[in-house]
Amino acid sequence: MASDAGLGNAAANDPIGALTALLPLWFFIPFTLVIVISLVAAAITGIYSSGLALLSLGVPLSRAGTTLINMVVIAAGAFYLLFVSDSFLATFQAFLALISVVMGTMGGIQLLDFIRQRRGGWNVDLAKRAGEGGRSGRWTALVSLGVATVVGLGLVTSSDPNIGRVVGFLLSDAAKKGVIGSTNVGVVIAMAIGAGLYALLTFAFKLDPKGIYAGVPERELSKVAS
């Protein structure tokens, strides 16, 4: 595809369709079956794993509820790719940039928690369920994640015209075409801001909330206190 500009452009818009147009009929049928089966298997795996991720975050829903949410999200993404987006590659790249802003920031915050645990004697009970020393959410981490995500989205760009309208709002037209916009360095900036703000709130200002032990027996509480 690198040596054929026409095929490369077609693959960017519709990778499966561009390849099937080159295949003979005897190969097209098994190729299509393999593609369909692999996509269905990937969707099932994605729904299963993302449902577990929602449950691990403490979302107050049943397994069926989290599965339904993920089915709707995946169906909406497929609908957008098939009927709205003009370029599969542009939409896919935009998705990677957007998810990287959030996941990179979460990774920076989690890395600081590891440092606090290893170096600062941080009480890991905060990672447990609410009532057993943990909490439903720590506002210090959530605020850091929210602020960094907004900044990160404002510093990344997308060639998808629809997604491009809601990102890059902190960049000028010239900056969008410059180094910051073309490299999406906003992902790294968001990670640094999230980790820095979280460190400021927890290390400098000591604002991290305390654990809640409402569901822990008295004998276990004495162990925690000691």
pLDDT tens digits for range 37-61: 998 898 888 888 888 877 866 677 8
Average pLDDT, the chain: 83
Q: What is the pLDDT of residue 132?
A: 77
Instruction: Give the tokens for residue 45.
Output: 């795996």
pLDDT band at 138 (very low <50, low <70, confident <90, very high): confident
DSSP string over 45-112: HHHHHHHHHHHHTT-SS-HHHHHHHHHHHHHHHHHIIIII-S-HHHHHHHHHHHHHHHHHHHHHHHHH
Q: Which range has the worst mean pLDDT, 132-141, 143-152, 194-203, 210-219?
A: 210-219
136 class by beta-carbon count within 10 Å (0-12 exposed, 13-18 middle, 19+ buried): exposed
Q: What is the pLDDT of residue 189?
A: 95
Q: Which range has the worst mean pLDDT, 7-11, 40-44, 107-111, 161-165?
A: 7-11
Residue whose token pair is 């925690």: 224
Q: What is the pLDDT of residue 37?
A: 93
pLDDT band at 62 (very low <50, low <70, confident <90, very high): confident
pLDDT band at 223 (very low <50, low <70, confident <90, very high): low
5 class by beta-carbon count within 10 Å (0-12 exposed, 13-18 middle, 19+ buried): exposed
Residue 109: pLDDT over 70: yes
Q: What is the mean pLDDT of residues 156-170?
A: 92
Evaluate whether 81 touches 91 at the Cβ level (below 8 Å): yes
pTM for the model stands at 0.75
Q: What is the pLDDT of residue 214?
A: 74
Q: What is the mean pLDDT of residues 62-70?
A: 88
Q: What is the pLDDT of residue 209?
A: 77
Residue 195: pLDDT over 90: yes
pLDDT band at 218 (very low <50, low <70, confident <90, very high): low
- Identity at 143, one-letter amino acid code: V
Q: Which range has the worst mean pLDDT, 75-79, 136-140, 142-146, 192-196?
A: 136-140
Q: Measuring CA to CA, which residue among 43, 70, 41, 44 is closest to residue 55?
A: 70
pLDDT band at 150 (very low <50, low <70, confident <90, very high): very high
